């Protein structure tokens, strides 16, 4: 049976497409970083993200709803991306997400 990505029922982001092409299906979660946002995903799900704001890095667990059931659970606000990412990993229940050596982290 074809996956949704293979059947073209959904559009797959190039990051995920590259991972699927290299046999990453079912592998551990990976962080994708830019200077303003970091996103944690495995081949099936968006697990969490952190957004750089003037107040700091705001971290969200995308696997759980917030109290109002109208968005993601906010994990907290942190001074740097590394701490925000660690908090997301703890909230999601994983540690040591895979860092893609082809896409070095651009955040501090």
Which pLDDT value is given to residue 96?
66
Place of tokens 């997301």: 88
What is the pLDDT of the chain when averaged over all its residues?
A: 77
Q: What share of the chain is helix, strand, coil (3-state, %, to 5)?
A: 20, 35, 45
pLDDT tens by residue, 42-74:
888 899 999 999 999 999 999 999 999 999 999
Look at residues 39, 26, 32 and name the one whose alpha carbon lies nearest to residue 101: 32
C-alpha distances (whole Å) from 103 to each of 18, 33, 55, 66, 74 are 12, 8, 26, 31, 26
Rounded to an integer, the average pLDDT of 31-35 is 92
């Amino acid at each position: 049976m074809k996956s949704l990505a293979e059947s073209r029922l959904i559009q797959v982001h190039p990051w995920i497409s590259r991972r699927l092409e290299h046999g990453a299906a079912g592998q551990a979660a990976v962080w994708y970083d830019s200077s303003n946002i970091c996103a944690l995903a495995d081949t099936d799900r968006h697990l969490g993200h952190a957004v750089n704001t003037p107040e700091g890095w705001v971290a969200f667990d995308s696997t759980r709803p917030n109290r109002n059931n109208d968005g993601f659970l906010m994990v907290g606000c942190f001074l740097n991306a590394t701490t925000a990412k660690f908090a997301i990993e703890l909230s999601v229940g994983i540690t040591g997400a895979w860092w893609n050596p082809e896409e070095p982290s651009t955040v501090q």
